[in-house]
């Protein structure tokens, strides 16, 4: 078990920064992250694995003028830490002068470090976790005769914290908890197996779905996949179900992130103030939400996070920048050094069945496989699983097909976003209806 003494780590970071300065650093930043928890997996009525995890790592980056050196280590005794600092300083003698390097400007450091209610321990020991997981599996297996076997139920129960400080005198910490229950089942019919899963996750165990819902959802998702067919190669409308729709939004974020922009590795270069999505779409960030997945008062540069819109009435209104990429692009950091913090996509008032009716005939995509995204051109081609829809009604499952298009074109043809928001992640969207994509089947 790790101790959760934040003050001790703050002192450690201050000592390390001092040592770096004594060894020639003109600026330095350091962070300590501590994680503690367990993962229990059960399968077919018995324990499969129990893993206990407790990690502590230190990362230090020093600057000698505009030369940079970094070291990370899991050896946390003071001798090893001193070695790490000295090594980082040595590295920074060799790396070359980079005009954009250095800490974020001191005046951008967060001053409001309010608690965002992210820490709620789950007082569940591994024995109790095993019991809960076994109950969940047992419930799931009796719900439908077509469930052939279980891939298992997992329970995660983790707490973590990190402390970040730099030589501007900024020091801040975050402490959070994370719990999940996930269930994976295999259904069989006509000698063909299909697998699917469902999970619930929370920062506060009181917000977890109960195991009845986890069992029921997993069975529903697994059994509905049985007896899939291939479909004809054709152009047709596509709905990305909410839990895969967030992948589309994450491709958008990758394309407007500073690192890809200054490297010219994005299809959305110089697109600020241009229409990317239709007018009915807003995409916005709310970093200070209580209990949020991405909640933070400061980013990994120490810069204050803030509410903002990335897309306002379809128009790109902000990039995603850290201090470094902002200097490269001659702009201001947006406080997103560690990515986005709680993002929401505006929705219509339609639920998924209404969205299916609006589509009429087309493909409802419920799972994507592979990484066929070329961010530099926006070309998109991925394996898909889903359901063929006619006149707004699901007809049969579809597998072994691909969907392809270009992201720029896909974004501008978002016909509707459903109100069936998947709230389990940092990017929250409902199902997304696209006017048309190429489906390759038979």
Partner 1 sequence: MKEYIGIASRELLHPRGLEMTHLQEILHEMLRLDLDYADLYFQNCCVESWGLEDSIVKSSAYHIDRGVGVRAVSGVKTGLAYTNVLDLAHLKEAAKVAMTISEQGGSKIVQVNQPVEKSSLYSAVNPLNDLTSADKIALLQRVDRIARQADSRVIQVNASIASAYDVILIMSTDGVTSADIRPIVQLSISVVVEEKGRRETGQSGCGARLGYDFIVQHAEKHSKEAVRQALVNLKAGPAPAGVMPVILAAGWPGVLLHEAVGHGLEADFNRKGSSLFSGRIGQEVASPLCTVVDDGTMPNRRGSLNVDDEGTQGQYNVLIEKGILKSYMQDKLNARLMKMKPTGNARRESYAAMTIPRMTNTYMLAGESDEDDIIRSVKKGLYAVNFSGGQVDITSGNFVFTTSEAYLIEDGKITRPVKNATLIGNGPEALGKVSMLGNQLRMDEGIGVCGKEGQSIPVGIGQPMVKMDELTVGGTT
Site for partner 1 in 187-206 (CB under 8 A): 192-195
Smallest gap from Cβ 89 to partner 1, in A, equals 11
Nearer to partner 1, 38 or 119 (CB): 38
Residue 107 as a binder of partner 1 (CB under 8 A): the answer is: no
Smallest gap from Cβ 131 to partner 1, in A, equals 14
d(CA 241, CA 65): 49
Site for partner 1 in 318-347 (CB under 8 A): none
Residue 26 as a binder of partner 1 (CB under 8 A): the answer is: no
Please give the angle made by the CA atoms of 283, 439 and 365, to the nearest 5 degrees.
Answer: 50
Positive or negative: CA dihedral 239, 244, 249, 254: negative
Write the CB contacts of 59 (distance below 8 Å, at least 6 apart in sequence): 30, 31, 33, 70, 71, 72
Residue 440 as a binder of partner 1 (CB under 8 A): the answer is: yes
Smallest gap from Cβ 417 to partner 1, in A, equals 24
Nearer to partner 1, 200 or 325 (CB): 325
Nearer to partner 1, 161 or 385 (CB): 385
Judge whether 126 and 50 are in contact, CB under 8 Å: yes
Smallest gap from Cβ 2 to partner 1, in A, equals 10
Nearer to partner 1, 275 or 381 (CB): 381
Site for partner 1 in 359-388 (CB under 8 A): 369-372, 374, 376-377, 379, 381-383, 385
Site for partner 1 in 109-138 (CB under 8 A): 126
- Select from 53, 106, 115, 274 the one that contacts partner 1 (CB under 8 A): 53
d(CA 424, CA 124): 21
Residue 160 as a binder of partner 1 (CB under 8 A): the answer is: no
Ranges of beta strands (E only) in 279-421 are 283-285, 308-312, 315-316, 343-345, 362-369, 373-374, 379-390, 393-406, 414-417
Radius of gyration of the chain (CA): 24
Residue written as token pair 């947006």:
334
Nearer to partner 1, 97 or 106 (CB): 97
- Select from 47, 313, 352, 421 the one that contacts partner 1 (CB under 8 A): 47
Smallest gap from Cβ 51 to partner 1, in A, equals 4
Binding residues for partner 1, rule CB under 8 A, total 74
Nearer to partner 1, 48 or 358 (CB): 48
- Select from 405, 416, 420, 430 the one that contacts partner 1 (CB under 8 A): 405
d(CA 376, CA 378): 6
Give Cα separations from 327 to 4, 323, 324, 401, 412 (angstroms). Answer: 36, 6, 5, 43, 30
d(CA 133, CA 47): 9
Nearer to partner 1, 228 or 430 (CB): 228
How far is C-alpha 305 from the chain's CA centre? 17
Smallest gap from Cβ 441 to partner 1, in A, equals 7
Residue 413 as a binder of partner 1 (CB under 8 A): the answer is: no
Residue 27 as a binder of partner 1 (CB under 8 A): the answer is: no
Residue 274 as a binder of partner 1 (CB under 8 A): the answer is: no
Please give the angle made by the CA atoms of 372, 377 and 381, to the nearest 5 degrees.
Answer: 25
Residue 402 as a binder of partner 1 (CB under 8 A): the answer is: yes
Q: In terms of Cα–Cα distance, which of 371, 398, 336 is closest to 247?
A: 371
């Amino acid at each position: 078990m790790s101790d959760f003494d934040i003050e001790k780590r703050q002192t450690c970071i201050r000592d390390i920064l001092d040592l770096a300065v004594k060894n020639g650093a003109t600026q330095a930043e350091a962070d300590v992250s501590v994680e503690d928890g367990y993962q229990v997996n059960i399968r077919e009525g018995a324990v499969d694995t129990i893993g206990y995890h407790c990690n502590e790592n230190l990362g230090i980056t020093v600057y000698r003028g505009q030369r940079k050196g970094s070291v990370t280590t899991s050896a946390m005794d003071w001798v090893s830490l001193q070695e790490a600092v000295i090594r980082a300083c040595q590295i920074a003698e060799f790396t070359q002068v980079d005009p954009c390097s250095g800490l974020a400007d001191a005046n951008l450091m967060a001053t409001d470090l309010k608690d965002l209610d992210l820490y709620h321990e789950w007082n569940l020991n591994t024995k109790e976790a095993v019991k809960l997981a076994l109950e969940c599996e047992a419930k799931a297996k009796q719900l439908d005769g077509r469930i052939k076997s279980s891939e298992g139920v997992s329970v995660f129960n983790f707490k973590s914290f990190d402390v970040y400080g730099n030589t501007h005198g900024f020091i801040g910490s975050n402490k959070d908890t994370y719990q999940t229950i996930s269930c994976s089942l295999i259904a069989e019919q006509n000698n063909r197996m299909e697998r699917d899963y469902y999970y619930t996750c929370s920062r506060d165990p009181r917000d977890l779905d109960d195991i009845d819902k986890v069992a029921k959802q997993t069975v529903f998702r697994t059994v509905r996949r049985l007896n899939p067919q291939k479909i004809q190669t054709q152009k047709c409308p596509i709905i990305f179900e909410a839990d895969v729709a967030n992948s589309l939004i994450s491709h958008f974020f990758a394309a407007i992130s500073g690192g890809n922009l200054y490297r010219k590795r994005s299809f959305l270069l110089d697109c600020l103030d241009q229409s990317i999505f239709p007018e009915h779409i807003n995409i916005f960030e709310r970093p200070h939400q209580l209990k949020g997945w991405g909640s933070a008062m400061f980013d990994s540069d120490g810069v204050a996070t803030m509410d903002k819109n990335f897309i306002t009435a379809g128009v790109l209104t902000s990039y995603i920048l850290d201090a470094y990429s902002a200097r490269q692009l001659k702009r201001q950091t947006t406080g997103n050094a560690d990515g986005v913090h709680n993002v929401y996509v505006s929705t219509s008032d339609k639920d998924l069945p209404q969205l299916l009716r609006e589509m009429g005939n087309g493909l409802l995509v419920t799972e994507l496989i592979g990484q066929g995204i070329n961010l530099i051109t926006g070309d998109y081609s991925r394996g898909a699983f889903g359901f063929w829809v006619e006149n707004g009604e699901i007809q049969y499952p579809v597998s072994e097909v691909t969907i392809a298009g270009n992201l720029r074109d896909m974004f501008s043809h978002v016909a509707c976003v459903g109100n069936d928001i998947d709230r389990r992640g940092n990017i929250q969207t409902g199902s997304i209806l696209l006017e048309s994509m190429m489906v390759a089947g038979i």
